Structure 1
Amino acid sequence: MGTRVQDDLALTDPETLSAHDAPEFAPAQFVRWFREVAPYVHDFRGKTFVIAFGGELVFDGALNALVQDLSLLSALGVKLVLVHGSRPQVNEQLKLKGYSTQFGRGTEPTSPEALECAKEAAGEIRLDIEAGFSQGLPNTPMSHAQIRVISGNFVTARPVGIIDGLDYQHTGAVRKLDIDAIRSVMSQGAIVLLSPLGFSPTGEAFNLAMEDLATSVAVALRAEKLIFLTQDRIVRHEDGSVDTELAREDADALLASGTLDEDTASFLTYASRAVKRGVARAHLLPYTLDGSVLLEIFTHDGVGTMVVEDNLDDLRPATVDDVGAIVQLIEPLEADGTLVPRGRAVIEREVELFTVLEHDGVIYGSVALKPYLDEGMVEMACLIVHPEWQGSGEGEMLLRHAESKARAMGARRLFVLTTRTSHWFMKRGFARGGVSDLPKERQTHYNRSRNSLIFIKRL
């Protein structure tokens, strides 16, 4: 998925890291995993993540574990903005004070009494978060940590106003963010904490939606990631498995279908909106799974749903007219031995196997898929991006397309033969295989003189 590491190597069970209880292979496995993670540590250093969660996370006692994981990210050089909600705490305060008003998922009026409850709830949660980051327990990720959490009047709000005759009173929306001040705080190594309250230029307070605030700040900061931590509001396939990645257009189509529950639809709407407005990736994660933030970031397939902006207009099936451009892409790699020489005639004969990336009439990438469906496998070949276009995720886009298309064919495994790019595939969830793992027909055509390495990924 572009930012994830091989899930086969991820050690998610803390018991495997015990010096006393670990099996003999665990140290070597840990070292291999750590080496695989290291490049992503470098990639994320200095990047901005916006982490958003509702008051439910605090209510369910998951705050302390989250704080420890975020302290680890901070220590790795990730710039963090935390945005918390407080809906269940506000509702509890209202109930204790004898008010019948209860806030749900949608935009609702905030009375003066409800605003006071929102202030109390936000203050309480803010103090809980600050206390969490102040702990320094031995043998935890917080040991010896000195992490500052800074909150303030970073958010200027405006009233929602009167809509269809209904006065929303103290319910507000984000008008402006003091981005320079937020960046200044992060540049000093501190974590920015935003509560779901904003203030007008006249000093009036407004109750904000956590999701809207988090999306607004992620867009304004051009964040690398916007992460929503939810109870379990992630997108799943019909068989119950997690849909780990959605192109934004597919997310919008799913929302339009009306098949999602209200909470999941709400989070996915904001995730799609953030990606459309420039956030690189937006994630829906279950906070009920311990370490979900770390698992999402440092394993290949993650544990939640990620929304990305695929430029699908650039991706299309190849035609005979594209053969010349595909040959031009392939020839330099054939010359240096990276690819097996094919020749124009072979590409013409197999052009229907190719997908190309095209922009303004220029073909700058390709990938080919050859099915062996009797054995539930598909071979991926000629995954190429022109050097002038490399570094912006086009290779990831082609890989995601290949995986999606192979699944649609009914394949269970995707395999690739390579002599030069083994690490690239390993970091994206492929595991080393052998000739005997190939489809029988492909085994007979394996070129032993090239000694290509075989990598296989389960779909």
Structure 2
Amino acid sequence: MTASNNTSTPDHKSFVQSLRVASSYIVDYQNKAFIIVLNEHFNQPIDENLRDDFIALEQKLWNQFQAAWFKYNQKADVIKSNLLQVRPKGVKNGRDYLYAANVQGISTHQLQQLLEQRWAVWLSSWGHSFSGIPYILNATDIAIITAKNLSCDKLIYLDDNNAWLDVESDLKNPNNLSLSQAKKIQTNNTEADKILKIGISACQNAIQRFHFLNIKQDGALICELFTRDGFGLLIYNDVYDELINADETCTNDIIELVNMLSENGSILYRDKLFLEKHLSDFYVMRREKKVIACVALHSINNEHSLSSQTEIAEIACLMVHPEYQSMGIASQLIQHVIRQAKKRKIKRLIALTVEAQGWFQRHEFKKISPEKLPKISNKIYDRQRNSTIYYREI
């Protein structure tokens, strides 16, 4: 579904009724949206019968939704796509979760391509493990992880839950909360706490705005998408991060990250002389003027800094402070580096890692052997370190 101002709006009641049948989340991405089917099993074990019933029910909902979509929306096509990588929950504290799984990753590049082609994408709440077995996933996890990997600004949560309307607060505007305010609220209401918990998790995963809409309120979704003030509950991320080119003021912070993360061998140690020499290759994420993550884009054609003639470059020194890991910051850095590489007409990227193999695979990098490295890039590979090499065309 397109969320731009020139999109014709369908009859609200009929369209939203069809939407409510099938979905829990709408994620706004560059004025486009994708839909994730509702599933609230949370921490419940899923046996084989329940799994099969859920998959059959989702197919029925998909058929109903698809019919309603084509009836009320003429400017975009909708597609059902399973782009998720799953990891079975297995046994925890003696409890076997059977066919329940966690989201391990998403094929971000493929999803972006579908959105750029103006498809509205339905993401199912189930997926296959590497062995081909279907598992059930949590829609909340799917929505947050997908929005995080796409660097989305907004996550909209649709529900018929009225609990938030009954929450009493001394705040001047209790429907417009910063992340820090949301963390302090105690509602004594299980359903309202659930909404807050989801919104806080979204903002902590680098999503700037979380919107909760009561689908039973006529016009809620349309007001949210097409008016300036929006509708419902808003939780916004009040922690300001800036992604900039590194300068001399960043050197000590980068050295601190190197010292912290090189102790266990996860990254290669670089001394101050190296950092000062290659500082212009670095990009940093700062929070309140403190560097919390960084990445470098090195030319491997020669010893000089990156130039517009470089066709191959190495992604190096990808580091996130331990307190800020698993928040999507590394994904933001890698996407920024790819954009910068394209501007410089770089056609190929190489990355070496000793422990982030799965992460690079989820970001569309392919594993190659040292023998397949281009001749000019062989010098970057240390055989004693035995890193895994990843390669990506851009």
**Structure 2 length-normalised TM:** 0.52
Q: Structure 2: state its 5+ residue gaps.
A: 8-12, 22-26, 242-286, 291-394
Letter in 2 for 1:287: I
Letter of the 1:225 partner, please give it.
K
Deviation per residue, 1:316-374 (Å, 9 max, x gap):
xxxxxxxxxxxxxxxxxxxxxxxxxxxxxxxxxxxxxxxxxx9559xxxxxxxxxxxxx
Distance 1:162 1:244 in 2: 39
Q: Counterpart amino acid of 1:116?
A: D
- Select the residue among 190, 201, 206 that pairs with 2:119: 190
After superposition, the CA RMSD in angstroms is: 3.6
Alignment correspondent of 1:79: 32
- Aligned residue for 2:168, secondary structure, equals coil
Displacement of 1:239? 7.4
How far is the alpha carbon of 1:147 from its aligned partner? Answer: 2.2
8 Å Cα contact 2:4/2:32 also seen in 1:
no
**Cα separation, 1, equivalents of 2:164 and 2:234:** 9
The answer to whether residue 133 in structure 2 is matched with residue 180 in structure 1 is no
Residues 166-200 of structure 1: CA deviation (Å, up to 9, x unaligned) = 00000111011011110010000110101111211
Rate the CA distance shift 1:311–1:239 in 2: closer, same or farther, 3 A: closer
For the residues of structure 2 that align with 1:128 and 1:267, how far apart are their CA atoms?
27
Question: What one-letter code is carried by the residue in structure 2 that aligns with 1:110?
Answer: I
Normalized per residue, the structure richer in strand is 2
After superposition, where does 1:106-125 map in structure 2 within 5 Å?
106-125=42-61
Name whichever of 181-190 and 292-301 sits farther off: 292-301
Alignment of 1:288-303 (within 5 A): 288-303=216-231
Q: Which residue of 2 aligns with 1:135?
A: 71
Q: Which blocks of at least 5 consecutive residues in structure 1 are unaligned?
A: 1-39, 46-57, 68-72, 88-102, 137-141, 314-357, 362-459
Query: 1:360/1:79 Cα in 2 relative to 1: closer, same or farther (>3 Å)?
Result: closer
Q: What's the CA shift for 1:212?
A: 1.3
2:177 maps to 246
- How many angstroms apart in 2 are the aligned matches of 1:134 and 1:227? 22
Equivalent in the alignment of 1:279: 207
Task: Give 1:58-457 correspondences, 5 Å limit.
Answer: 62-64=16-18, 78-86=31-39, 106-135=42-71, 142=73, 145-233=74-162, 235-236=164-165, 237-238=167-168, 243-254=174-185, 257=186, 259-311=187-239, 360=289
- After TM superposition, give the deviation of residue 302 of structure 1 in Å: 3.2
Q: Post-superposition shift, 1:274? A: 1.5
Tell me the alpha carbon deviations over residues 211-234 of structure 1, each in whole angstroms, 9 at most, x when there is no partner: 111111111111121000011356
Q: Please state whether the residue corresponding to 2:207 is helix, strand or coil.
A: coil
* Structure 2 counterpart SS, 1:151: strand
Shift of 1:263: 2.8
Name the SS of the counterpart of 2:44 in structure 1. Answer: coil
Read off the aligned partner of 1:246 and give its amino acid letter: L
Moved over 4 A (4+): 239-242, 358-361
* Matched letter for residue 288 of structure 1: K
What is the one-letter code of the residue matched to 1:63? Q
Amino acid corresponding to residue 311 of structure 1 in structure 2: V
Q: Which amino acid aligns with 1:84?
A: V
Q: CA deviation at 1:296?
A: 2.4
Q: Which letter does structure 2 place at the counterpart of 1:252?
A: K
Taking the aligned partners of 1:207 and 1:265, their CA distance within structure 2 comes to 24
Code of the residue aligned with 2:147 in structure 1: it is A
Superposed CA deviations along residues 397-454 of structure 1, whole A, max 9, x for unmatched, are xxxxxxxxxxxxxxxxxxxxxxxxxxxxxxxxxxxxxxxxxxxxxxxxxxxxxxxxxx
Change (3 A) 1:308 1:186: same
Find the aligned partners of 2:79 and 2:144 in 1 and give their Cα distance.
19
Question: Which structure has the larger Rg?
Answer: 1
Whether the 8 Å contact between 1:160 and 1:168 is mirrored in structure 2 is yes
Deviation at 1:267, TM superposition (A): 2.8
Superposition deviation, residue 288 in structure 1 = 0.4
Q: 1:243 to 1:298 in 2, by over 3 A?
A: farther
CA distance in 1, matches of 2:30, 2:19: 19
Code of the residue aligned with 2:113 in structure 1: it is S
TM-score (normalised: structure 1):
0.45
Aligned residues: 232
Superposed displacement of residue 129, structure 1: 1.6
Report if the CA contact (8 A) 1:243-1:304 is conserved.
Answer: no
Whether the 8 Å contact between 2:144 and 2:205 is mirrored in structure 1 is no
Contact 1:65/1:290 (CA < 8 Å) preserved in 2?
no
**Identity rate, percent:** 21
Q: 1:266 to 1:154 in 2, by over 3 A?
A: same
Query: How far 1:273 sits from its partner (Å)?
Result: 1.3
**Does the 8 Å contact 1:63/1:129 carry over to 2?**
no
Task: Give the structure with the higher percent helix.
Answer: 1
Maintained 8 Å contact 1:62/1:287: yes
SS at match of 2:81: coil
Q: 1:300 to 1:61 in 2, by over 3 A?
A: closer
Q: State the shift of 1:312 in Å.
A: 8.5
- Structure 1 partner of 2:337: none
Q: More relative contact order in 1 or in 2 (CA 8 Å, sep 6+)?
A: 1
Q: Which amino acid aligns with 2:103?
A: V
